[in-house]
Every structure is written in structure tokens, then in C-alpha cells.
Structure 1
Amino acid sequence: MPSRSSARLAALTVAAVCTAASVVVVASPAHADTVRIHDIQGTTRLSPFNGKAVTDVAGIVTGVRGYGSSKGFWMQDPNSDADPATSEGVFVFTSSAPKVAVGDAVTVSGTVSEYVPGGTTSGNQTITEIVKPTVTVVSGGNAVPAPTVVRAWSVPAAYAPAGDPAAGNSINGLKLRPNRYALDYWESLEGQNIEVANTRVVGATDPYTELWVTVKPQENDNRSGGTVYGSYTAQNGGRLQIQSLGPAAEFPEANVGDVLRGATTGPLDYNQFGGYTLVAQRLGTLKSGGLEKETTRKQKKGQLAVATYNVENLDPSDATFDAHAAAIVRNLQSPDIVSLEEIQDNNGATNDGTVAADQTVRKLIDAIVAAGGPAYDWRSIDPANNTDGGEPGGNIRQVFLFNPDRVSFTDRAGGDATTAAGVTKVRGKAALTVSPGRIDPANAAWNASRKPLAGEFVFRGKTVIVIANHFNSKGGDQGLTGQYQPVARSSEVQRHQQATLVNGFVKDVLKVQRNADVIALGDINDFEFSGTAELLEDGGALWSAVKSLPKSERYSYVYQGNSQVLDQILVSPSIRRDGDLAFDSVHINAEFHDQISDHDPQVLRFEP
């Protein structure tokens, strides 16, 4: 997924430079007579008054935001029209801390603008605003218009209309149908005071004091209380981001499955990092759902346990080594082989040419021993500097940990950042030409992305070839709440190329030895139902073991309130046929506010 902190910095920069830089102009500026808020909002996503001056627009202040780059206030007309497509609320952008209070009756003169959070290239929808305002307070202490209460049946099951092909599939110009589409429903309330009650948390509190709830508690729900993203046509329109107008210190620390009891009320905003967002004047009371971190079962003596775990940019300066060690020893039950993703070099994001990661790995191994785990050995290949993506200078890579008391590693010299591993035959069995080695590292499919790490292991006399992966991220894809529907997933192009190469390598192994035990695992950065997974599985060479779980339990990551699969363990046919095969997605991070990584690890147990 794209970096949240870097994207936020860019957004603040864009907003701070000039609001007009993100204005969508659909009409030439011209004077307009006094209008009502619902006239300004109109029946599409773009105001019919966009770019025009308006005078003496009346409303009651429902929320004041005096911080950040988007200072201003929301106001609402207490006398609504009869059209469900037109919102009665609007945001007034003041640029400096506004001099109004909730309950003030005001009139506003200014220019109507369509602001795009994140800039026009972000693909986000617009927020209808009044900018460069002259604000007159008519009276204070007025009753705030009663919030529109959002209930489960309020939000349609269908997610979004198909966009206009003549406008690049944008939905901006389409007439809103709030009774038919979820995104149209939320848009019809933009800027308006709304209320949700007794809502279940589906995305844990993040470092930016945000969380996600669902107003449709039975929409693709799972036993943890989350909302599962199980197909491209089930986007879960009941999800809603919650922020607060109150102090950050008072924001609840919520996990998935917790409930905000009572009413949460405030204006409905549109946020760059999640779309429609209730900015709460009043937050419900947090009621714990009792979610606990999972522990998988220990492998049997004759079973090989193989795990994948994205440790999120781990470098020696981090404070999470002990926590990661405890997770590997206790929650994962000390797997025999652990594929680690996002191991950074010895000085992390310091961009000085360092590529070795031995200090990072050694610090983790020592912490595992201190936590009561095995003294793992390890193998990896240092990347060429700044060629594998991730934080500049961090040089993330995959690393194999293995327990030498149960597993041996077959070393074949010659593997480095640029040498391609091949497949040969040794004593009638498939073998790697270099071990550890990288799969086709010079191929353009791996540009600015991690190259797969292949290694040959032996367990109880049986050879197992393991391929550790970290595919291209989803950065650059259009957002689910964006103006383009259906969304374009441009990042798939590179992942599809990567999946084809890994699938081809596995097929090369199986050509040499039909019953070879091969595992391809890691942060695939794509769903089990995706085209990427289909290409990895092509021809039956591999099968994603997460499909052995019920659909409601298939997830390793939570993004914008959607529980989804990004991490996978795929196995060759000989492993899949093991009658005692067991796969477990061990939920210890993604659903918790105190996560040490944004990914959950997975474990596979089988008998080679």
C-alpha cells in the first residue's frame, strides 16, 4: 500500500500553497443571485455554481475546524428542500481559524469552488466549498439542525454507478441517485450534519486519530467484527471513516470488533485518505469487543512449518524487535522457516550506500532467542543500492530464517543481486543452480521492486524449494471512493508481469521433477481473487492456501475498513495433496490499534 505519511505531507503542501490549485473549473466566474445551500450543492457532484460568486448564503454553523491546512466551518440550512439528492450542508474555507461558533446563524458571501483533496491528479472526488468568504454572524446560540440519522437500510447495496466513458469514467457529472448507489448516498449528505449510532469498528484507530466503522453490521462480516473485501464487486459501502473535532488525546483507541456505543454526530466531510468521513462533534462511547491476538498451533514433529511475515521496514533503530520476536515465538509457535519481508539495511533509511542487513537480522535473531525461541540461521541476498523500491536508502529485502535443529539449507555459491537462479537436475531431483538466488533479477518486471529470493531447504531428507516474494505495491491505483468508477488498478500491470515470472520459474522446477515441493510466499500485494493470483496459479503450478479458509476468514491486512488478503502462501500440487495440510492467517496486527506491523503473518504446516 502507498505510504500514508508521505502522501499526507504532499497533501498538506498542496493545500497550503493554494486552494485554487485543486479547483475543478466547469464554468466561467460570474455573479449569481442569493441562493440556498441546496442550490449550491445541486444534484451532481459538481456545483452548478462552481466558479461563481454567491451572496448572503444563510445557514447555522454545525462544526468548526480551526487546525490543519483546511481551516473553516460547516454550515447547514435548517429548512431543507424535497430533493434527496441535494445536500443542505456546505464547507466554508476560511484559510485562517474561523471566528464563528457552533450554533451561530451566519450569512456567507464568496465564491463556490470544487476542491480536490490530494490534488486533481489524485482521482479523488471534490468537496463543494465556499472560498474567499465574507462571513456575517446574525445571531448565536441557535439550535443546530438535527442530524440525518444513517441506518443500515439507508445505504444502498450497490456501490457506485459506472462513470461516463466520455469523461474517463468519471462520475462527477452524473445525476446523484442516493437510493440506488452507496457513493451517491454519501455524496447527497456532503457537508451535512449526520449521525451514526452503535456502530462497529472495522478499522482500528491509526496514528492519525482515525478509525473506520460500518453502518451495515452484516455486510460481509467476519467473526472478529471486520468487513471482508472478497471481490471487486463487493466494496462494502457501509464503511465510514471517523475523525473528531475534539482533542486527539480524547480519541478512542479502538480495535476491530469494538463498538462506538450511542450516537456519533458531526458534519460529513470527504478525506483524501478514505473518502467520506464523519468529523465528529460528539463521539460514541467505546465498548470493547474483546478481540485478542491469535496463536497458531505448534507443528507436529513430522510437519514442516513455513511462515511469511512482513515486519514493516525493520531496521536496527526500531523499538519493535522484542515484540516481533515474541510474535514469532509465541503467536507463530517458532516456525521451521520464516520468510521475512521489509528487512532494511543496517542503518535503515539513511541513504549513504549501505546495503548489508546483517545487523538488522542478527538483532532480530537475538531477540527471538531471548524470547525463548530457536537460534535461527539465515540467508538473504543484499540488493544493489536503491534498486528495490521502498524507503530511499532503506534497501528492503526478503530474508529466510530457518531453525537449523530441524531444517538444513543447501548452499550453492554464485547468487548475488544480479545473477539469475536457474533450475537443474541433481541425482534425479530438481535443484537450484544458485542457493540462495534471485529469480530473473534483470527483468524489467522487477524495476524499483523486490526480486524474489529462492532457497533450497532439506527437512527430514526431503528437499523443499521456497521462493520469498514482495511484489509491487498498489500505489497509484484509483481509490474505491474516487471519482472514477469502476476503478482502474494500474499497479496490476507490474504485478502481473512478476506473477508470470514466478509461475514460469515454478513450472521450470516441475518440468524437472513433477512432484517437487515448491512454496511461493510473501507479500503479494494482491487479493486471492485477483488476476495476480490467477497468474501465479496458472496451469495448476501453484495454489493459494488461503483459499482453504472460509471466505469470511481470508484476510491479512485491513485497509480503509476492508479486511483483505495481501499476503499469501502458494504451494505446488504435491504439497496441496497432503491430507494434513494446515494453513493459518494469524491475526496479531492488522485489526489492532497497537500493531507492530500493518500485516498479519501466515503459517503453513505440511508433511513433505
Structure 2
Amino acid sequence: MTVHSRRATRVVSALSATAVAGSLALATPANAEPQSTPEATADSRIHDVQGTGRISPMDGETVTVPGVVTAKRQFGSARGFWVQDPQPDDDPRTSEALFVYNGDETPDVAVGDEVSVTGEVGEYRPQGQDSAYQSSTQLTGAEWTVASSGNELPEAARLTPDAVPETLAPEEGDLDELELRPDKYALDFWEAHEGERVSVADVPLISRSTDYDELYVTTKPEQNRTPRGGVVYGGYDDGNTGRLKIESLIPFSERPFPTANVGDTLTGTTTGPLEYDQYGGYTMQATELGEVESGGIERETTREQRPSELSVATYNVENLSAVDEQAKFDDLAEGIVKHLRSPDVVTLEEIQDNNGADGNGDGVVAADETLDRFAEAIEAAGGPKYEYRQIDPQELTDGGQPGGNIRVGFLFDPDRVSFVDREGGDATTAVEVEKTRRGAAKLSVSPGRIDPQHEAWDDSRKPLAGEFTFRGRTVFVVANHFASKGGDEPTHGRHQPPTRSSEKQRHQQAEVVRGFVDELQQVQPNANVVVAGDLNDFQFSDTLGTLTEGGALTSLIDTLPAGEQYSYVYEGNSQVLDHILVSDSLRRVDYDVVRINAEFAEQASDHDPQIVRFRPSAGHFLDYWDWFWSRFGR
């Protein structure tokens, strides 16, 4: 957050009557000493400053406005207080409250003070005035007088299920240039209440309590709910308009921030001023915070694979490195063994090198210690003695946490499935699809990276292909971690629809992976193919459309009911980032998203793993016969 250079000071002198004409009656302290105040626009009220759009019509002017202090922020570098006019106008577009910015000093006011504030009107926009975030109207360089204390606060606007419109924003345009339509658009509704006291009562919690002491609730209990109590994000044009973030202005020494899971309820009344935050959008800064009542969700456990089924899981283990505490390895291992029931193959994302982000540019890229510790933790938890395969990246080329050198890899149970090792795979060598003498597909190197020098993988993880055999049948598994959504404009920002600039790279990545799958299927149309991992995109995106076009692959998340299509919770939206896609040669496919992390305050990773169980097709008949004869023939 940008820190403004000016800070407010408390003024004990009374302002002139003309400076506050039309305002609340202000009493002059008996010991007041005359002080100069900035030249201010007379006869101003807060709704005049806020105006009927997002940008104040008085931006840059010095004004004097009356009001009652409703809340103050006493911590951080953006301290200050909210002031609200108890005498509103009759225009629903104009907010009656403002934030008075006081830098890094705690303002010398009390909630309930009747004040007259003089300051310069400004628009604070996170990351600069050209950013895609919305701005907040505030007063800076402020001075104020206190007329009386202990006044009743203006009534909070009650956020009932019907209060916020169903439509998020106009279909196209810069919201800064448009008049507010709070009766039609949700973002306009929130903006029209900027700074004002708002309240919710007995609302569902749609996110875990975050690491940044945030809660997300929905004011619309019937909108896009999941069976477990969240709200699913099902399309670019289907935003969850009732979603609201809540933080607390109450010192944690007085009221520790609550711990919550998805599906819990924030009972009682929660009240506070509304402000815009670049992280999560419109946020209530609670001065009164309800109690969390458990909804009782439990971590899921999938069924065990049958002897004739091959099980393949995918799991983003969130920057796992050998320097992590043993507890993280143990928690992840419990997920593998207890909740995923020890899959035959696991594609892993976000495996870091042996010293993780502690070593940035130190030449360490190997991850053997990281994977050895993980395999040992799984065995200690009662799981199989997994082996692993991966390829070390070139240093600082694959994105992710600086210095971590993240990559994808495979775990597999050698008692259930065999890995076909073919030497030659390294960070820059591309795996090729070859044809056996009998016409079946095989990989030139295994494991091998798919076209790692292609520009699609610049500063991003390269996909890893591996060849496995299960009961004599060949299965090709591709582990992926596509480029992140970093750089995309927020869904709650000023530009509608937001620009999703990161999509371009993921679309290229999908084309490369799809091309590899096409090559496999051209050589062997009934090849068993599994494409899995963190694709960092939604099931309805063009990224997934490229992979599934023409039926080459089936996206298994699409086979679930709409309310269950999620694997990750971001800013209160239950959404899809992780995927398993399969070729139609697989038989008796059974798929499950195993919910053990994303909805819980305590989590081993921020992603939920997924698993598919299936029977591979026989593939090429003669290859199957060769396997049978080598095992059972004389």
C-alpha cells in the first residue's frame, strides 16, 4: 500500500461558521486557541464529496465536512477514521461516509465523536492511478474539531439477501467513467455504500479464515452454493455478487480473530464501515464481530482402488522443499495414505529444490532430498514405499517462488505399477513419440519434458511425460503446472470485463500439450493417456477447450454436478484450477475430488487433490501378448 506523505493533526479551535454552514451544530471548546485552517469549500457535505460516480467531483479540492466518527483504524501504515453524515440525502448513488487518512499515526478521536473535518479530497488507488483496481475516496492532510462525544452512530445498512443486485457490473467499460447504478449492479451497490456502516446477521462463511485474518461471507445464501457450504464460481458471467470480505478493527488482544471453515456460520450481528481492498474487493472493517458456529464439514476419504484398477492422483503440495518442517511432510503424507488411499501414481506440483526459497541463485536445483523425505513420510504413515521420477530444471527458469526451482514429478508404487525408464531426458531435451516394431506408441525418453524450449514455457514449469505399465498395459501420464494467473485484472476492478492477460501463455501451453497427445493418438489411436495437474484455469476456459476439443481428452471435472466443480477456494469463490483429463480408451473411469485442504483453516496445501481410477485398454495386442508370455510362458 502506498503511504501518503501528509498526516492529520487534531485541531482544538472552532472553525468559522461559514466554513461549516449547513453542517451539524458544533460547540466551541472553552480553551480553544485560534489556528489557521486550509481554505475550504463551503457548504460541503460528504455526499457532495462522494458524488454519483466512483471518482469524487471534488477530487483535489480542500473541503470541510461534518459527521460522526463511526470507526478508526489503529494499526498499520493506513491509520485513520471513518466519518459518516447522520443527515443523508435522498440519492441512493451517493455515499454518506469517508475515510480520513492519518498515515502511520493513530488518530486522536473516539468513536461517537461529532466532528468537522477539513482536508484535501483524494482518490487512493492501489498500485497507482493507472492500475485496474478501484479507488477509495478519502481526505488527506486533514484537521478536525470535536464538538461532542458519545453520539449515537448512524444506522448501519442491513445487507439482506435481496439488497445486492444479481448482476456484477456493466458488460463493458471503465467503471470510473460511469454513473453508479446501485439498483442494477453489485459493484455499484458496494461503491454507493463506500465508507458507510453496513451489517450482516447470521451469514454463511464461504471461505476458511485466511492466513491474513480474513473471513468471506455471502449475503445471498441461495446463490451458487456448494453441498459443503461454499459458493462455486461457474463462469465469467456468473459472479457471486453476495460475496463480502470481513476483517476486524477490534484489537486481537481484546477479541482474537476467529478460526473458521467453509460451511460455518457467522452468527449474530457483524457491523462496520465498508471499504475497497485490492485483495478480495469490497470489505467490511468490523467494529462488531459475530461468533463462528461450526458447520461440521469433515475431510473426505476416497475409496481404495480395486486390484484391476489403476489409480492416478494429482496433488499440488504448495512449495514443498527439504527445509520444511517435518509436520508439513507428515500432513501431506496423511493425505496421500489416508484420504487418497495410496494411489498407484501421483503427479506432484510445486516440488522445490533441496533448500527451497532459502537459496536464490545458489546453484542448487536437485530435489532428491525433498522427494526422499516425502517418500519416507508416506511410508511412515503406513503407505507404500514409493519411488519417484522427475527432471531438475535449469536454475531460475521455471517461475514460482524465487529460488525454489519448482517442478512437477511422479510418485509411483512399484508393487502395483512399473515405470518405463528410458535415458536421455533432461531439462532441455524434448520427449518424442515413437512407434514400436508392432506399431504401438512409446516415448523416446522417460521421463521426458514436452518441448521444453518452446516459448510457451518461458518462466513456467515444463510438463513431464512418463510411460507406465500396469498389468502389461501401457499408460502415458503427463504431469503439468501451467502458468499462474498473476497479472490478470481483478473481477472486482474498474475494468469490465477484466483483462486476463495471463491466458495467452496458458493457451499456448495447452496447444503444446494437446499437440503431444495428438501425436500419441496418431501413432496409437487407443493409447491410454492421462493429463493431470494444476492447469491454473477454469473448466469453462479456452485453455481447457483446447485440450478437450474434438474429444481427444475428457475433462473429468465436467462429469461432476455443477455445485461440486471446484478444487480451490480463492477470495471466497470455490473454483477449479486442478484437472485430470483422460483419453476415451480408458474403461470404467471413476473420478473424485478429495476435499481435505481448500475449505479448512488448517491445511497441508491450499489445493485439494484429485484421483481417477480406471482400467486401461489392452492397447496394442502384441505388446500385451509379449508381457503375458514373459511373465507366464516357459
When the two structures are superposed, what TM-score results if normalisation uses the length of structure 1? 0.94
Deviates more, 1:303-312 or 1:121-130: 121-130
Contact 1:16-1:69 within 8 A present in 2 as well: no
Q: Hey, what does 1:217 align to over in structure 2?
A: 221
Stretch moving more, 261-270 or 111-120: 111-120
Q: Which residue of 2 aligns with 1:274?
A: 280
* Cα distance between partner residues in 2 of 1:497 and 1:102: 55
1:198-237 to 2 correspondence within 5 Å? 198-237=202-241
Contact 1:398 1:469 in 2 (8 A): yes
Q: Where does the alignment leave 5 or more consecutive residues of structure 1 unmatched? A: 1-10, 20-28, 164-168
**Corresponding position of 1:166:** none
Identity over aligned pairs, percent: 56
Please give the secondary structure, in 2, of the residue aligned with 1:510.
Answer: helix
Aligned partner (choices 187, 192, 199) of residue 196 of structure 2:
192
TM-aligned CA deviation for residue 539 of structure 1: 2.4
CA shift for structure 1 position 179: 0.6
Structure 1 residue identity aligned to 2:317: V
Shift, 1:391, TM fit = 1.3
The 5-angstrom pairing of residues 233-272 of structure 1 reads 233-248=237-252, 250-272=256-278
Equivalents in 1 of 2:209, 2:146: separation in Å?
36
Q: How does 1:140-219 map to 2 (within 5 A)?
A: 140-163=149-172, 169-219=173-223
SS at match of 2:205: strand
The offset of 1:58, in angstroms, is: 0.4
Q: Is 2:329 the counterpart of 1:321?
A: yes
Quote the residue 1:310 is aligned against: 316
Aligned Cα root-mean-square deviation (Å): 1.3
CA contact (8 A) 2:6 2:140 kept: no
User: Given the superposition, is the C-alpha separation of residues 488 and 99 from structure 1 closer, same or farther in structure 2, using an over 3 Å criterion?
Assistant: same
* 2:378 pairs with 1:378: no
For each residue in 1:296-329, what CA deviation from the matched residue of structure 2 results, as whole angstroms up to 9, or x when unmatched?
A: 1111110011000000000112120000000100
- What amino acid sits opposite 2:122 in the alignment? S
**Aligned equivalents of 1:514 and 1:600: distance in 2?**
32
The number of aligned residues is: 578
Q: Which amino acid aligns with 1:228?
A: V
Moved over 4 A (4+): 16-19
Unaligned runs of 5+ in 2: 8-37, 617-634
Residue 292 of structure 2 corresponds to residue 286 of structure 1: yes
Q: Matches of 1:137 and 1:355 in 2, distance apart?
A: 62
Any idea what SS the aligned residue of 1:100 has?
A: coil
CA deviations over 1:476-496 (Å, ceiling 9, x no partner): 001011000011100000000
Secondary structure at the counterpart of residue 558 of structure 2: helix
Match of 2:95 in 1: 87
Aligned with residue 490 of structure 2, among 467, 471, 479? 479
Residue 15 in structure 1 maps to residue 24 in structure 2: no
Does 1:553 find its partner at 2:571? no
Measure, in 2, the Cα distance between the counterparts of 1:480 and 1:139: 42
1:63 is paired with a residue whose SS is: strand
Residue by residue over 1:78-122, the C-alpha shift from the partner in whole angstroms, topping out at 9 and shown as x without a partner, is 111101111111100011210001100011001000001233344
Q: What's the offset of the Cα at 1:247?
A: 2.6
* 1:105 equivalent in alignment to 2:109: no
Structure 2 CA distance for partners of 1:135 and 1:595, relative to 1, 3 Å = same
CA contact (8 A) 1:60 1:75 kept: yes
Match among 370, 379, 397 for residue 360 of structure 1? 370
- What is the CA–CA distance in structure 1 between the aligned matches of 2:469 and 2:4, rounded to whole Å? 58
The one of 51, 68, 76 aligned to 1:68: 76
Match of 2:511 in 1: 500
Are the equivalent residues in 2 in contact too, given 1:353–1:393 (CA < 8 A)? no
SS of 2:77's partner is coil
- 1:33 offset after TM fit, Å? 2.1
1:45 paired residue number: 54
Distance (Å, rounded) in 2 between the aligned partners of 1:161 and 1:425: 54
Q: For 1:132-162, what per-residue CA distance to the aligned partner results, in whole angstroms no more than 9, with x for missing partners? A: 0001111110011110101110011111013
Q: Shift of the alpha carbon at 1:32?
A: 2.5
TM-score by length of 2: 0.90
Quote the Cα distance in structure 1 between the aligned partners of 2:5 and 2:50: 26
After superposition, give the CA deviation of every residue in 1:475-530 in whole Å (9 maximum; x if it has no partner): 00010110000111000000000000000100000000000001111000001110
| Higher gyration radius (CA) | 2
Residue equivalent to 1:7? none
Structure 2 distance, partners of 1:16, 1:414, is 57
Q: State the match for 2:542 in structure 1.
A: 531
Once residues 18 and 59 of structure 1 are traced to their aligned partners in structure 2, the CA distance between those partners, rounded to angstroms, is 22
